[in-house]
Amino acid sequence: MGKKVGILTGGGDCPGLNSVIRAAVWKGITEHGFEMIGILEGWKGLLENLTANLTVEDVSPLWNQGGTILKTSRTNPYKMQDGADKCLNNFSKLGLHALIAIGGDDTLSVAHKLFQAKLNIVGVPKTIDNDVPATDYTFGFDTAVNIATEALDRCHTTAASHKRVLVVELMGRHAGWITLHAGIAGGADLIIVPEKPFDIEEVCNRLIKLKESGKDHALVAVAEGAKLAVKEDKDGTFVLKNLERDPFGHVKLGGIAKVLADEIEGRTGMETRSVSLGHIQRGGNPTAFDRVLGTRFGLAAIDLIARKDFGKITALRGNEIVAVELEKAVGSTKTIPDNMMPLTEFFAPQLTKEKG
């Protein structure tokens, strides 16, 4: 028997996770002679010893499957009594040589702490939000953008038939990448992202301007984490599903499209509807791009383990897969940089600036 290597998926699922698992397990067994085991349900599996043996036959059919065969959870061992110690003990009880943790900022921050506690860990960045700082792209993002773009395309025709405004809410937490990309690709008239708090009056004025220019319908793409500008608070304010926080302290966003649609209709008299795409953006089969990126990450991750190059994540820089220190991938959010923000405005009706 070769050395035992574990693999887990944590946080929100995304299309492409199974591509990573397939590639890492396949190469781990066939080229490096590792014994590969799945740790189920993210960090919960390491806390509770939930595991499954993985063979090439198990992973071979996964080339196009969305979701994760390993299941996932938002379990945070560092928020549980003796959680970290349990992870360390179970790691050795299971006889693990090393572990691949596939996840976003939350999962990778746990991986980083466990690496500092001397576990042999490598990470693979994933998320539809594309907000992990160390990599140009995460897999899952391309699929989400394509789903969102198709939804926007569909909204155009119904909005046009009814001469309505349609407000479409997209995921991405505190980063507007999905909304920016899908908004451009899907021909949105207004693109509203969390990176810049928005003024409701300005949104309405732009829609009125659009109508006056002869367009009888409009599409607004808004990120779930977009913030309403409030005079006294320069950071703006979120719309929340409820006040609950998840185990990593994140607020539960959702509902901005409905709030915005009601305001637009009330203030402009334009008939307005809202749509929230929600988890549809995370479901189904990955695009070819995400399958390939996931596969390249999986192969690179298992090679890092073979080289005992622990404490790193795989990352895409240009078209190269590189290894980056875990600490550079955690603790911050990659948002839309200032030099890309004009893209959110380019196709929007421009308001004449008041002089003086």
Q: Give, to the nearest 10 degrees, the angle between helix 141-162 and helix 288-306.
A: 160
Strands (E), 193-334: 218-223, 228-230, 233-237, 240-245, 251-253, 272-276, 312-317, 320-325
- Rounded Cα distance between 286 and 194, Å, is 26
H or E segment to which residue 23 belongs: helix 17-30
Candidate list 13, 129, 142, 189, residue with the active-site label = 129
Query: Shortest Cβ distance from residue 226 to ligand F6P (Å)?
Result: 12
Q: Which of 112, 126, 206, 282 binds ligand F6P (CB under 6 A)?
A: 282
Nearer residue to ligand F6P within complex by CB, 51 or 127: 127
253 binds ligand F6P (CB under 6 A): yes
Q: Which of 224, 153, 151, 147 is nearest to 187 (CA)?
A: 153
Q: In which residue are the tokens 């073979």 written? A: 306
State in angstroms the smallest separation of the CB of 282 from ligand F6P. 6
Q: Which residue in the set 128, 147, 155, 219 belongs to the binding site for ligand F6P (CB under 6 A)? A: 128
Supply the DSSP symbol for 350.
Answer: P
Work out how close the CB of 294 gets to ligand F6P at its nearest, in angstroms, rounded to a whole number. 16
Cβ nearer to ligand F6P, comparing 167 with 175: 175
DSSP labels, 73-140: ----GGGSTTHHHHHHHHHHHTTEEEEEEEESHHHHHHHHHHHHTT--EEEEEB-TT---TTSS--BT
CB of 334 to ligand F6P, least distance (A): 13
Is residue 66 involved in binding ligand F6P (CB under 6 A)? no
Token output for 349: 């009706």
Q: Does 166 bind ligand F6P (CB under 6 A)?
A: no
Q: Please report how close the Cβ of residue 144 comes to ligand F6P at its closest, in angstroms.
A: 8
**Alpha carbon distance 228, 238 (integer Å):** 7
User: What's the closest the beta carbon of residue 351 comes to ligand F6P, in angstroms?
Assistant: 30
Piece of the chain touching ligand F6P by CB under 6 A; list 31-39, 122-130, 199-207, 287-295: 122-130
Between 91 and 238, CB nearer to ligand F6P? 238
* Site track 77-116 with ligand F6P (rule: CB under 6 A), x = hit: ---------------------------x------------
Pick between residue 119 and residue 256 the one whose CB is nearest to ligand F6P.
256
Q: Which of 5, 6, 10, 12 binds ligand F6P (CB under 6 A)?
A: 12
Rounded to 10 deg, the angle between the 17-30 and 288-306 helix axes is 40
User: Closer CB to ligand F6P, residue 98 or residue 221?
Assistant: 221
Main-chain phi, psi angles of 26, to 5 degrees: -60, -55
Helix (H, G, I), strand (E, B) or coil at 66: coil
Residues in contact with ligand F6P, total (CB under 6 A)?
Answer: 11
Residue 171 touches ligand F6P, criterion: CB under 6 A: yes
Rounded distance between C-alpha atoms, residue 1 and residue 35, angstroms: 7
Question: Of residues 164, 173, 211, 334, which one binds ligand F6P by CB under 6 A?
Answer: 173
Pick 90 or 179: Cβ nearer ligand F6P:
179
DSSP string, 141-193: HHHHHHHHHHHHHHHHHHHHHHT-EEEEEE--TT--HHHHHHHHHTT-SEEE-
129 makes contact with ligand F6P (CB under 6 A): yes
272 binds ligand F6P (CB under 6 A): no
Q: Interface with ligand F6P by CB under 6 A: which range of 116-124, 157-165, 169-177, 318-326?
A: 169-177
Name the residue among 52, 40, 107, 49 with its Cα closest to residue 77: 107
Asked about 189 being catalytic, the answer comes back as no
The residue whose Cβ lies closest to ligand F6P is: 171
- 188 and 153 in contact (C-beta within 8 Å)? no
Using an 8 Å Cβ cutoff, are 88 and 52 in contact? no
Residues binding ligand F6P (CB under 6 A) = 12, 104, 127-129, 171-173, 224, 253, 282
User: Catalytic positions, please?
Assistant: 129
